[in-house]
Chain A
């Protein structure tokens, strides 16, 4: 609001000066240029209603790439159960609560479907404070599994080369080659498509002048959400901790890096 009033005031002042000064003192083209400045400030004033966060940095930096912040958007709290963001002098803590709800409509009758929809509606209206409920489909990180299979392939290849050196029987060789072909086939299947995972979670935020204050308040809110979920759906939800938090925040955890690398390598090979 201050930015709006400031810009509007500046525009009005310039316009009044422009209108008051005679064309004898200021030539008409100069008056039009001053008018343009006043109208531009007026347009900026109305823009400040929505874009106050952009106007200052844009004109201060005068670059095509405007940097609003060089800071990381968040950091994980030392208690590993929330993420923190600093805005002005305040800290904002956000907690993620996993809701292990694995019911499918295919296993519900009509009454159960209606009950489930009503329960969901009721859950949404649980708190006076804003809560975010999310249904997330993400690609599973298969790194560890792929590594295991790669090791299996390497072991089978070693075994095959040893058997070849030892002039082993054809049946022994065929057995190892069969194993090798099986692991290679499995690797191909694994790389042919992404494996998806569906998660449901809730998140809440709270603010405080100190980190621990914000964390304390948000944990309290999280416990209220957990109680509500438990009371409505009869399931035990839990606060997400550690690296698992990143699944809900960072885009690269929605699509793991290794999965993309595999895709790119395959595209290049094709």
Chain B
């Protein structure tokens, strides 16, 4: 949980807390209970919106049948799962899938001993997967170089902490081999990342996603084909060690806008997405 989320939750949770603290001011017992129930539901809603807005928001828009027109001639469906464009009576539905290709994600990658093997085999796997697809799709990587010094400082801090843990475990004598091996493994991962920076590789923040478009003579037809295409993409790229989740809600809108304008400032782009952090 990031600091921003905590701030938002704490501030908004004040309101239900005030309600619970002053429940007697709402009248006889029955009204006090109603007030507590409403406050409890609001607290639950606050937590749901903070941690699972991709479930809450599409549910709300689906129940009320709310659709959005982000720009002329485009529509975001009520389930918040696709952007539809109508061209001469033909509907084009575009959907997105997250695709964290971990081997290329520096910041959070787990440096493994067989990383080179993984990178070598990834080319073949990619080509095989691509060849099995017979519909249009795009694979996007939005990357930005991160500040080398701040990442180095962060990694050195983490390494020092793990080294402290290791020395404490060795001194205590009560730690078993499994714990010691685990700490040593963590240190070697951090060290490998530091070595890569020392060799001149720049740490990057990246967002990776698939985009696919389907056509149909009606919105439903286009959406049905789109869902099928997304399933086929998920199957085809199974061998790539990717986390492929269908994007819904606000992230769909953000990704769709990336087709016309990308982030242009030097900010951490991964903060745009909860699913890719």
Interface residue total, chain B, C-beta cutoff 8 A: 93
A94 to B45, CA, bound (A): 39
The interface centre, meaning the residue of B14, B144, B206 with most chain A CB atoms within 10 A of its CB, is: B144
* CA distance in complex: A45, B13 (Å): 11
| A45-B12, A137-B137 known; A117 vs B142 contact (CB < 8 Å) | no
- Is residue A220 contacting chain B, with contact meaning CB distance below 8 A? no
Interface flag for B70 (CB, 8 Å): yes
Whether B261 and A130, one on each chain, are in contact in the complex, defined by CB atoms closer than 8 angstroms, is no
Is the CB of B102 closer than 8 A to any CB of chain A?
no
A204–B265 Cα distance when bound, in Å, is: 11
Contact A67 B262 (CB under 8 A): no
Kindly report which residue of chain B lies nearest to residue A105, judged by CB atoms.
B123
Q: How far is the CB of B259 from chain A (nearest CB, A)?
A: 6
**A69-B71, A120-B104, A254-B213 given; A38·B144 CB < 8 A:** no
Quick one: which of B85, B87, B140 contacts A133, CB cutoff 8 A? B140
Q: A32-B26, A42-B42, A85-B261 are in contact. Are A130 and B142 (CB under 8 A)?
A: yes
Interface residue A149 (Cβ < 8 Å from any Cβ of B): no
Q: A73 to B256, alpha carbons, bound, how many Å?
A: 10
Cα–Cα distance between A54 and B67 once the two chains are bound (Å): 11
Does B27 sit within 8 A of A, measured CB to CB?
yes
Are A205 and B263 in contact, with the CB atoms below 8 A? yes
Complex CA distance for A200 and B138, rounded to whole angstroms: 9
Are B45 and A43 in contact, CB atoms less than 8 angstroms apart?
Answer: yes
Q: Is A174 an interface residue (CB 8 A)?
A: no
Q: Which B residues between 1 and 27 are near A, CB-CB below 8 angstroms?
A: 4, 8-9, 11-12, 14-16, 18-19, 22, 25-27
**Judging by beta carbons under 8 Å apart, are A251 and B66 in contact?**
no
- Chain B residues within 8 Å of A36, by CB: 38
Q: What chain B residues lie within 8 Å of A125 (beta carbons)?
A: 106, 143, 145, 201-204
Q: A46-B50, A117-B123, A124-B141 are in contact. Are A196 and B134 (CB under 8 A)?
A: yes
Chain A window 236-270, contacts with chain B (Cβ cutoff 8 Å), 1 for yes, 0 for no: 00000000000001111011010010001000000
Chain B residue with the shortest CB-CB distance to A68: B70
The answer to whether B262 and A130 have CB atoms under 8 Å apart is yes
A219 proximity list for chain B (CB < 8 A): none
Within residues 138 to 192 of chain B, which ones have a CB less than 8 A from any CB in chain A? 138-145, 147
Query: Do A203 and B262 touch (CB < 8 A)?
Result: yes
Is B145 a contact partner of A58 (Cβ separation < 8 A)? no
Q: B114 an interface residue at 8 Å Cβ cutoff?
A: no
B55 at the interface (CB under 8 A from A): no
Q: Roughly how many angstroms separate A66 CA and B39 CA in the complex, as a whole number?
A: 30
Query: Which residue of A has the minimal Cβ distance to B103?
Result: A117
Shortest C-beta distance, B221 to chain A (Å), equals 10
Known: A126-B145, A205-B262. A72 touches B72 (CB 8 A): yes
State in angstroms the CA–CA spacing of A138 and B139 once bound together. Answer: 12
The docked-state distance in angstroms from the alpha carbon of A69 to that of B73 is: 10
Complex interface residues of chain B between 232 and 270 (CB less than 8 A to chain A):
250, 253, 257-266, 269
Bound-state CA distance A218–B115 (Å) is 35
Of all chain A residues, the one with the shortest Cβ separation from B78 is A64
Question: A161 contacts the other chain (Cβ, under 8 Å)?
Answer: no
In angstroms, how far is the closest chain A Cβ from the Cβ of B78?
8
A145 contacts B by Cβ under 8 Å:
no
A71 to B69, CA, bound (A): 10
A257 to B65, CA, bound (A): 30
- Rounded to whole angstroms, the CA-CA distance of A35 and B42 in the bound complex is 11
- Contact at A28–B120, with CB atoms within 8 Å? no
Cβ of A215 within 8 Å of any chain B Cβ, yes or no, is no
- For A198, what are the chain B residues with a Cβ–Cβ distance below 8 Å? 130
Complex Cα gap A155–B114 (Å): 63
Say yes or no for A121: interface residue by CB 8 A criterion: yes
In the assembled complex, which residues on chain B have CB atoms less than 8 Å from the CB atom of A47? 49, 53
A255 and B213 contacting across the interface, CB-CB below 8 Å:
yes
| A249 close to B123 (CB less than 8 A) | no
Please tell me if A60 contacts chain B, counting CB pairs below 8 Å. Answer: no
Min CB distance B30 to A, Å, is 8
How close is A91's CB to chain B, nearest CB, in angstroms? 10
A30 and chain B: residue at smallest CB distance = B27
Q: Out of B42, B85, B127, B260, which one reaches A251, CB within 8 Å?
A: B85
CA–CA, A68 to B72, complex, Å? Answer: 9
A-B contact pairs, 8 of them (CB 8 A): A8-B12, A31-B27, A50-B57, A51-B53, A72-B73, A125-B143, A136-B137, A205-B262
Further contacts, 19 of them, CB under 8 A, given A50-B53, A131-B143: A15-B15, A23-B26, A28-B27, A32-B26, A42-B15, A42-B16, A45-B12, A46-B9, A65-B66, A68-B68, A74-B261, A94-B262, A131-B262, A133-B140, A205-B264, A249-B259, A249-B260, A255-B136, A257-B88
Instruction: Name B's A-contacting residues (CB within 8 A).
Output: 4, 8-9, 11-12, 14-16, 18-19, 22, 25-28, 31, 34-35, 38-39, 41-42, 45-46, 49-50, 53, 57, 64-75, 85, 87-88, 90, 92, 94, 103-104, 106, 116, 119-120, 122-124, 126-127, 130, 133-145, 147, 201-204, 206, 213, 215, 217, 250, 253, 257-266, 269
What are the 6 closest A-B residue pairs judged by CB atoms, nearest first?
A28-B27, A125-B202, A117-B119, A251-B92, A105-B123, A73-B71
